[in-house]
Chains A and B, each alone.
Chain A
Amino acid sequence: AQSVTQLDSQVPVFEEAPVELRCNYSSSVSVYLFWYVQYPNQGLQLLLKYLSGSTLVESINGFEAEFNKSQTSFHLRKPSVHISDTAEYFCAVRGLSSGSARQLTFGSGTQLTVLP
C-alpha cells in the first residue's frame, strides 16, 4: 500500500516569486510519481510525472519536480509564478505492478494562490 502526504494545505505567494509545494510518500514497492493540477470546477490535468531515469522532471509551463528516493519526496517547484498558476495541486503515486497496484493514491492537495 502507498500513502502520500502534502504538508501544506494552503500556499499563498506573490506573483513572480518562487514556490515549492511539498510532497512525501510512503510505499513498500517502487512507485511512479505524479503531479496533477485542478482548476476550479474542472477535472485533473497531468502536470508532470516521474517514471524512471533522470530524477528531475519538467513540465511545459515552467514547473519542475525532483524525485528524492532517500527522502521519499517529490517536491514541485517553479522559479517564478503567474496569477494563472492559482489552482489546487495534487501529488499522487502508484505501484509499478499490475492489478490492484495500478490505482493512483493522492495526497490531500495544496491550494496555491498567487497574489498580485
Chain B
Amino acid sequence: NAGVMQNPRHLVRRRGQEARLRCSPMKGHSHVYWYRQLPEEGLKFMVYLQKENIIDESGMPKERFSAEFPKEGPSILRIQQVVRGDSAAYFCASSPPGGVSYTFGSGTRLTVV
C-alpha cells in the first residue's frame, strides 16, 4: 500500500513561470490537505479538498495559487507566475473519511530562480 505520493520531488522554475505540484493520496483516502513550509518555519495550512470540492481554502494566497482534486487523478496545486518568495517545500497529506490523523507525502521542494 503506497503512501502519499508527491511529484516532482524537486522543481526549479524561473520567475514568471507556472509550477504544478501533484499529490496522489493513499488508497482509500478521499481527503487531501496542502501545506507550505518556508525555510526555518513550521508548516502552514493552505487548502483542504475532497474529491471535486474545495472544503477550506483559508490558507491560500488570494492570487496566483489554485488547487483542485478531480474525480479521477491526483490533486494539483498550481502556482502561476511564480516569484522568489514562493520558494518553499510544499507538502500534501491525506486522510480517509472520518480519519483523525493524516499521512504526509515527502514533499515537493520548489525553487524559484
Contact = CB atoms under 8 A, between A and B. Distances in A.
A7 B41 CA distance: 14
Interface stretch (A14-22, A57-65, A72-80, A104-112): A104-112
A100 B107 contact: no
Main secondary structure, interface of B, reads strand
A32 B100 contact: yes
A41 B91 CA distance: 12
Contacts of B6: 43
Interface in B49-85: 55-56, 58-59
A103 B101 CA distance: 10
Contacts, number: 59
A103 B105 contact: no
Contacts of A109: 41-42
B42 to A, nearest CB: 4
Query: For this complex, into which size category does the number of interface residues on chain B fall?
Result: 20 to 34
Interface of B: 4, 6, 31, 33, 35, 41-45, 48, 55-56, 58-59, 91, 93, 95, 100-107, 109
16 contacts: A36-B104, A42-B106, A43-B6, A43-B91, A43-B104, A43-B105, A46-B103, A49-B100, A90-B43, A100-B48, A100-B58, A103-B33, A103-B56, A104-B33, A106-B42, A108-B41
Given A43-B106, A109-B41, 16 more contacts: A42-B106, A43-B6, A44-B91, A46-B101, A46-B103, A90-B42, A99-B56, A100-B55, A100-B58, A104-B33, A104-B43, A104-B93, A106-B44, A107-B42, A108-B41, A109-B42
Interface of A: 32, 34, 36, 41-46, 49, 51, 90, 99-100, 102-109
